[in-house]
Amino acid sequence: MATGQSRIEPYRTKSFSRESSLSSSLSLSRSLPHLIDNDVDGESVSEAGDIGDRSLRRRHSAGRSSRLSADDLIEQGTLDTSRQEQDVLHDLRAFNTDFVVKPLPENITPSPLPTKSLLSPPEEIDRGKEEEYVLPKSLEYISCLIHLAVFGIFGAITRYLLQKLFGPTGARVTSDGSILYLDLPSNMVGSFLMGWFGVVFKADIARVSEFVAIGLSTGYLGSLTTFSGWNQKMLDLSADGQWVFAVLGFLLGLFLTSYSIILGVETAKGFKWLLHRRASSEEKNPCLKVNTFQSHIVSLTLMLVLLVALLTASSILLVKEFDKGTSEAQLWLGCLVAAPGVWLRWFLARLNGRGLGKDGQHLRWVPFGTLIANVAAACVMAALATLKKSVNTRTCNTVASSIQFGLLGCLSTVSTLMAEFNAMRESDYPWRAYAYASFTIAVSFAIGTVIYSVPVWTVGFS
């Protein structure tokens, strides 16, 4: 009896010490309000729009282990630690290690009951049986790039059609010399749809295929909307001396697009509630999921064929229209250069929620990836506008306008900006939404004025 007691006692002592260490670590983590209240909230709102290829790394991290450890949190970027917080994580790692590796004492008999089925709900058990096959990283990147290119081209084509539908040749609602700029309808429609497919239903689409979710939100909706085109139209107004219209154009555009995503989110929530209510009264039907190697390859092949078809058709139509210098020529050349703009924005999105400084703890609420994409696209678009006025030839206008429409229009985005704006507005710090939007607009307009408006005023381009 004494021998058995001596065997059990060291095990209890060490376990209790680990539990005490964990309790002290957790109490220490509770004493870090800046991590809980500020950093976590800031990181979540800055990642509301897009996180780029970090989503692929999180898939691989989740695929390696179903148990969420402190190491997973660091690798996934959900926990950036300072020196004090690293001590907490070391205790967590040690506790997890001892808890998993430590064998049971000899005189303790394992329970014959299926404890996993008792502790885990049926949904988790069924989910465990249908684990998604995770592609190798190289194939995942290729699949993402192809999906982004296809959806980005469709987004650019939709933007062009909306310009024609509401522009001077269509309904005559928008025009170049008005605060109702040509890209306002596409920015409003894209922001509204972002509320549906980029906020409310994004997780549901990702359960079917995460590549489709990325292509739809980042590729299609990001390319359907354009911040650089919006900024350039206001620069045109200011260069003509219509400063009041330029300011009103920014205010009206921000108001309409922000309420478009709010309307999209609210209507999508109502529709989702109706779907859940109907599903609760009927038997749920299994949905199609791309979660096997064969289904991934089939999806990748279909998207690749579609991409080749789009590029081939755009090239053929460009050859017919290029010498004419029409808007159709700008459209088809823009489709050929749209994919690099979407890819660059997707890669820049990895900076969202990362913050500044060595530990990344400063300004984590700022989506630096989206900010850099929008400001850079607006500046390059202003430079191309200056080039068109200085050269003023048909070929130069066609090529420069195509790059503005395709590459820069897809590099910049309003839908993602509005998703981040709406998340900040609903957070504990709503002032951040207006500070972020105002800073993006002010910096883009100020640099664009130096690049475009000042040469127009000094040289006197017609």
Give the model confidence (pLDDT) of 101-149 as tens digits.
445 454 444 444 444 433 444 444 444 444 556 778 888 999 999 999 9
pLDDT given for residue 31 in this prediction: 42
| Residue that wins the pLDDT comparison between 186 and 73 | 186
pLDDT average, residue stretch 237-260: 95
Residue 217: closest CA among 204, 230, 232, 228: 204
Contact 88, 73 (CB under 8 A): no
**pLDDT interval class at 438 (50, 70, 90):** very high
pLDDT average, residue stretch 22-48: 54
Query: What pLDDT digit, counting tens, does each position of 371-418 carry?
Result: 999 999 999 999 999 999 999 899 999 999 999 999 999 999 999 999
CA 188, CA 225: separation in Å to the nearest integer? 8
Residues 6+ apart with CB under 8 A from 153: 223, 307, 310, 314, 335, 338, 339
Which of 49-58, 154-163, 396-405 shows the lowest per-residue confidence on average (mean pLDDT)? 49-58
pLDDT given for residue 278 in this prediction: 83
- Per DSSP, 362 falls in state B
pLDDT given for residue 459 in this prediction: 85
pLDDT average, residue stretch 36-64: 70
pLDDT average, residue stretch 156-182: 93
pLDDT given for residue 282 in this prediction: 60
Which of 130-144, 184-198, 210-224, 372-386 shows the lowest per-residue confidence on average (mean pLDDT)? 130-144
Asked whether residue 335 carries a pLDDT value surpassing 50, the answer given is yes
- Helix then strand then coil, in percent of the chain rounded to 5, is 75, 0, 25
Average pLDDT, the chain: 80
- Per DSSP, 25 falls in state H
Residues 6+ apart with CB under 8 A from 226: 159, 183, 186, 187, 408, 409, 410, 412, 413, 414
- Residue 252 is which amino acid? L
**Number of CB atoms found within 10 A of residue 423's CB:** 22
